[in-house]
Amino acid sequence: MKIAFEPEQHDLAAGFDRAAAAVASPQVARGLWDTETGRSADLWRAVAEMGLTAIVVPGQNEGFGGTLVDLALVLERIGHHAVPDALLEALVTGPVAIARAGSSKQQEAWLPGIADGSIRATAALRGLTSVPDAHVSDVLVYREGESLHLADLSRCALTPLVSMDPSRRQFAVEVPPEAAEPLPGSAAALEAVLAHEASGSASVLIGLAQRMIDYTVDYVQVREQFGRVIGSFQAVKHQLADATARIVLARFQVHAAAAKVAAGAEDARHASLAARRVALDAEFEANRAALQLHGGIGFTWEHDLQIWLKRGKALEQAHGNRGEVADELGAAVLATL
């Protein structure tokens, strides 16, 4: 199976880099912490103008009819920049669920607006107790048992949650019975939707992990101890080399999983869970090494590294932690025997 990316996909990621540098820098993120929504209208406008909101929306619903592969590198850059918005849910999980499981009426009602950025989606496939960006989203896709449902968030009750990451905006959502709409095709589409979430979240984790190591490599080349830069110490080199090896190997798995999910391969769900599992390991080790090698300064409020450290810890849990993903992968494999 081909897993190389096209020049256009690299260009899309580079374009996102340029936009994020302007509207999603650490300085901008810090300025948003004390605002009512914690979100930047400039960032969402840039995402929509780049066409990212339309990538996975089918052509008949005003989208581009693309696949997860078209967004895989962008998702890595979302992690690289620690973009606070729940863009995985808005660009991938939500629209994919509606496109694959929704009725024609539901698709016509929501997907064109999602494609042009006038409607924002979020998703909760692990319960309604912690839903990202529900306060700035219009439609929620959520899971109950083996079924997917849709709800207009303007008709739901939101309870804000406290997070160690000031950029994370999470809510407990109460969906009244009259606002819940089952997605009629969820029985056939659930596995594919879950695979998109697992694979997409793995891409974000890889971007986070790489940025933390990049920060740390720069730091150890200027921090001195005993008259030498600490980057010259063998123990420091070993930690950075181990974290880097985990990221490089995980990235291959993550890219392969995105290709399988996009192609609808029979083992796409297995591949996506395996990708998230190895991406979690890579991010965990990068997070640990970055924190330790920066010493006390890395987790201080004033240092930008703490934005990535906290985001990594939050996203280690957001779409299934290491134990949960390992259990799901094991159960999925055993079910095929």
Percent of the chain at pLDDT above 70? 99
Residue 59 pLDDT greater than 70, yes or no: yes
Q: pTM of the predicted model, to two decimals? A: 0.96
Instruction: Give the residue-averaged pLDDT of 122-146.
Output: 96
pLDDT of residue 1: 61
Q: How confident is the model at residue 111 (pLDDT cuts 50, 70, 90)?
A: very high
Q: What's the pLDDT at 2?
A: 63
Domains and CATH numbers, the chain: 188-335 (1.20.140.10)
Residue 305 contacts residue 215 (beta carbons within 8 Å) = yes
